[in-house]
Structure 1
Amino acid sequence: MGGFQAPPENFYEAVGGHQTFAALVHEFYLRVAADEILRPMYPEEDLAPAERRMLLFLEQYWGGPRTYLEERGHPRLRMRHAPFAVTPQARDRWLKLMREALDTLDLPPLHDATLWDYLDRAAHSMVNSG
């Protein structure tokens, strides 16, 4: 069966694995670097460590390597974001920039919607102030 290919085992593989998530996160952080609302929330001058953390988290969440857990332990997203005032305005900007980044991937509609649904819910759950 020359053309037969087994279906992907999980969402991570179905959307293209590391390359897809690396592209998404990189596009997002390019936008964060120039954003007047989100950029000040990152204490590091270099955004590369934050970009790597998000990449590792998303890869693990969607069925990829468990490097995030091995290096950083349980994600505890709300706890890790607690030191930062995540306002509805910051959430909305995060979602705007993430939507722009996601649009650069040109994923099939179902995969796009699946990923976006998670990102939208996650962003809303991070709001912790005014």
Structure 2
Amino acid sequence: MDEKLSKSVPTLFEWAGGQPAFEKLFATFYQRVADDAILSPVFRNMSAAHADHVAKFVAEVFGGPKLYTGTSGSHATMVAHHIGKHLTDTQRKRWITLLLETADEIGLPDDPEFRSALVGYLEWGSRIAVINSSAAENPIQPDAPMPVWGWGEVKGPYQP
């Protein structure tokens, strides 16, 4: 990509609407999760700050400010929250479906390129969450970099 074009392409974070969009997405989503028969058992004991933590994490992954890693979070920290949860594929699929419905409800961009990137990240991240939820130990080292997601991220088959 030439330099002029790359400067004109916004990050996914910018295109989505910045931090307020991610905060609204996850606050609305986790309100809906509380009433969802498939997901509420997984999240019934989540802290009041959970939606904010996830919003900061995903916003940072999508090119936003380092609000998650800047407040004692890391990729390893996020993965650690899934260890031993024994998540199912049914729960994973419902999580994605409900999150995408929430994205529509709050008016996140619905252009094909953005939604492709969003769905790609949700598929990638949720499948890794399911894998890690059956682990006994965190496979991510404390100093591992945060994931970075952009407009096209496929780099080959997953290697645990």
TM-score bracket for this pair, using the shorter chain length: 0.7 to 0.9
Q: Which residue of 1 aligns with 2:61?
A: 61
Rounded to whole Å, the distance in 2 between the matches of 1:122 and 1:37 is: 19
Residue 117 in structure 1 maps to residue 120 in structure 2: yes
What SS class does the counterpart of residue 84 from structure 1 fall into?
coil
Residue 97 in structure 1 maps to residue 95 in structure 2: no
- Name structure 2 gaps, 5 residues minimum: 1-6, 135-160
Deviation track 1:34-90 (CA, whole Å, cap 9, x = no partner) reads 012222222536x53110111110111111121111223312243320131211121
Q: For structure 1, which segment, 55-64 or 20-29, has the greater mean C-alpha deviation from structure 2 after superposition?
A: 20-29
Residue 70 in structure 1 maps to residue 70 in structure 2: yes
Q: How many residues align?
A: 123
Query: How many percent identity over aligned positions?
Result: 28
Which residue identity does 1:52 align to in structure 2? D
Which residue identity does 2:51 align to in structure 1? E
What SS class does the counterpart of residue 86 from structure 1 fall into?
coil
Q: Cα RMSD (Å) of the superposition?
A: 2.1
Alignment TM-score, normalising by the size of structure 2: 0.67
Task: Give 1:22 deviation, angstroms.
Answer: 1.7
Rounded to whole Å, the distance in 2 between the matches of 1:12 and 1:106 is: 11
Residues 8 and 14 in structure 1, CA contact (< 8 A), matched pair in contact too: no
Between Structure 1 and Structure 2, the one with more helix by share is: 1
Residue 50 in structure 1 maps to residue 53 in structure 2: no
Which residue identity does 2:72 align to in structure 1? R
